[in-house]
Amino acid sequence: MVRKLDADRFTWLRGGINLPRKLIHRIGLLARRNQIRVASLSLVVGITIVSSMHSQELPRSNDLVLPMDAWACDDMKVHQVLGPQSPVGCDRLRLVKFAFVDFDRQSQENGEIVVMDAAAKHVLQIFQSLRQLGFPIAKAILMNRYDGNDDKSMADNNTSGFNDRTIVGSTTISLHAYGLAIDVNPVQNPYVVRTGAVLTLIPPAAADYVNRLDDRPWKKHRPGLVESVVDVFADNGFLIWGGYWDNPIDYQHFQVGRKFAERLARLTPGQAEAAFDDLVARYRGCRRASPPSVANDRTSCIVASDPTANDP
């Protein structure tokens, strides 16, 4: 949760004497510009901020949503991540930067993923929530590093977003090409294809994760399986999980509905953001409806929330 200082919500003290309102206002502006994120901080000698929110985790300073500049767009083209026929142009993409916890329980500050502008702030919320939950991520590097090669990215256990490509084994445009799909920890959450009685796992290193149970007697906990965070993605608009599918089963994959993605791509940026916000609000409203019932379980709310579900 992004927490910025608000002069109306903080008590400013100097030796027990309230400071003048103009000075409070000026310090508040400075704090907002720098997104100060500690509960108590000495800004100038003898001045302390006291916040009633001190018990809550405040955001990392590098949790950001940024537009793609010309250099970044050119780099994606050079590395075959953005092609001339992409369903969305570079102007509709955003770079989401975030901190995360890795599999050694260490904090990393270099997470990056590219997504459509309409979804960007909710994608940031997803990764902030994963960090707060202690859900580990192996790495999150832009697809430029892999020259748009999804197999290489998966083999490297890379969490990724935008990549202008087709669905594996198909000529259909992937939802990754809209910036509206996210793959998480591919080694722990493989792409599984069944051909007759034969299962093929991508990446091959995921063989230890065919069994999806984590709560197993005499077995160690296996962090990074996405079953525990499906609700985090759904709560932020990524309603469709590849683990729902029969064949292939794409455990690492979260996306929006295809028709909804196509609609967002046709809208202006402002309209698209409003439409995505409305999807999130509809889903959250359904899930939080009272009293709890079958009608507001996850599956029912996914079906009820997508505004394009009944489009021809």
What is the C-alpha R_g of the chain?
22
Provide DSSP, 297-309: SHHHHHHHH-TTT
Rounded-to-10 torsion of CA 199, 203, 208, 214: -100
Residue type, 140: A
Beta strands in 162-280 (DSSP E): 181-183, 191-195, 198-202, 240-241, 249-250, 253-255
What is the model's pLDDT at position 59?
56
Residues sharing a CB contact under 8 Å with residue 300, sequence separation 6 or more, in sequence order: 286, 294
Closest CA to 187 of 105, 102, 252: 252
* Residue 6 CB neighbours (<10 A): 11
* Residue 67 CB neighbours (<10 A): 13
> Chain-centre distance of CA 303, in angstroms?
21
Q: Are 112 and 123 in contact (CB under 8 A)?
A: no
C-alpha neighbours within 13 Å on the C-beta side of residue 299: 3
Q: What is the rounded CA–CA span in Å between residue 280 and residue 62?
A: 24
Average pLDDT per consecutive 10 residues, the chain (312 residues; last block may be shorter): 37 38 44 39 33 42 92 97 97 98 96 98 98 98 98 98 91 96 98 94 94 88 96 98 96 97 98 98 92 83 87 68
Provide DSSP, 202-244: ESGGGGGGSS-----TT----TT-GGGGHHHHHTTT--EEGGG
Does this model's pTM top 0.75? My answer is yes
Q: What is the rounded CA–CA span in Å between residue 1 and residue 67?
A: 20
The residue ranges of every structural domain in the chain are 7-50, 64-258
Phi/psi of residue 208, each to 5°? -70, -5
User: β-strand 181-183 against 93-101: which pairing, if any?
Assistant: unpaired
Angle of helix 258-266 versus helix 269-287 axis, rounded to 10: 150
Q: What is the rounded CA–CA span in Å between residue 22 and residue 11?
A: 14
Q: What is the rounded CA–CA span in Å between residue 84 and residue 89?
A: 9
User: β-strand 64-67 against 93-101: which pairing, if any?
Assistant: antiparallel
Residues sharing a CB contact under 8 Å with residue 219, sequence separation 6 or more, in sequence order: none
Residue type, 298: R
What's the distance, Cα to Cα, between the start and end of the chain in Å?
Answer: 38
Q: Is the dihedral of CA 241, 244, 246, 252 positive or negative?
A: positive
Q: What is the rounded CA–CA span in Å between residue 47 and residue 115?
A: 41
* Residue 72 CB neighbours (<10 A): 18
Q: 266: which 2 tokens?
A: 């046709």
Q: What is the rounded CA–CA span in Å between residue 223 and residue 164?
A: 30
